[in-house]
Amino acid sequence: MSNNEEKRIERLGAARAASSFVAGRESAWDCILQKTAAHLSRRGFGVSIASSLKDAADAVMGSLLPESGAKQVAFGGSMTVREAGLLEALKAREDLSVMDTFDASIGQPAMLELRRQALLCDLFLCSANALTREGELVLVDFFGNRTAAVQFGPRKVILLVGRNKICVNMEEAVSRIKGMASPANCMRLGKKTPCVKTGYCMDCNSPDRICTYWTVVQRSVPAGRIHVLLIDEECGF
């Protein structure tokens, strides 16, 4: 057998191994998503699965929004929602009033007042910092407007959650937030907290600390008020 033939066989073997790896990984994720969705449903959450962030945005605009009957929409601080392009898509709708509670041009006092008003909107869009496979949502906020809205106020809440945020249990969920979500958000926001340098939450008492309010949501009350849209790809922090 020639050297070229041996190399060709090696390349074919490597390609098959890579393909098998990808197929196995995606099968595992499909299992995790399906089981997590089942647990969420048993806890009273509305739940659906999107194959991509684009499909998730299409699901919001094409079915979840019309079903909600919303006329006024507000947002929590979510990179996933922004990456999906939903803020722009909703603002383009003439039949909707969109409350942009993160419009820095209006100044912080006005932003905070708008966030208070947003607690009475028809539909609130956000994400979670972590989600256990048992169907428990874990959220951490600075001001608490997102955690408050998820718990009570808006008639309907939709959370877009990438598969990277699904954790085995509550311990792993807390570890994920302290080791990824919080430091990454502090870095994104230019905060002067220890985690910006260490990459892990130091449970600081810095004025810039954003981990103020921790909330665990174990059920949707009333049933179906909170809809979790699981996304079969990595999104957000």
Pairing of strands 166-167, 130-132: parallel
> Low-confidence residues of the chain, pLDDT below 70?
1-24
Specify the number of domains making up the chain.
1
* Residues constituting the chain: 237
Q: Is residue 131 part of a domain?
A: yes
pLDDT at 25: 73
Task: Please report, in angstroms and rounded to a whole number, the separation of the first and last CA atoms in the chain.
Answer: 51
Q: Is residue 97 part of a domain?
A: yes
Q: Is residue 236 part of a domain?
A: no
pTM of the model: 0.88
Q: Is residue 27 part of a domain?
A: yes
Structural domain for 13, as ranges: 3-231
CATH of the domain at 40: 3.40.50.10420
Distance separating alpha carbons of residues 42 and 158, to the nearest angstrom: 17
Distance separating alpha carbons of residues 27 and 34, to the nearest angstrom: 11
Q: Could you read off the pLDDT of 119-150 as tens digits, one per residue? A: 999 999 999 999 999 999 999 999 999 999 99
pLDDT at 27: 86
- Token pair for residue 184? 């990454």
Could you tell me the sign of the dihedral formed by the alpha carbons of 10, 11, 16, 20, in that order? Answer: positive
pLDDT at 8: 57
Distance separating alpha carbons of residues 200 and 212, to the nearest angstrom: 16
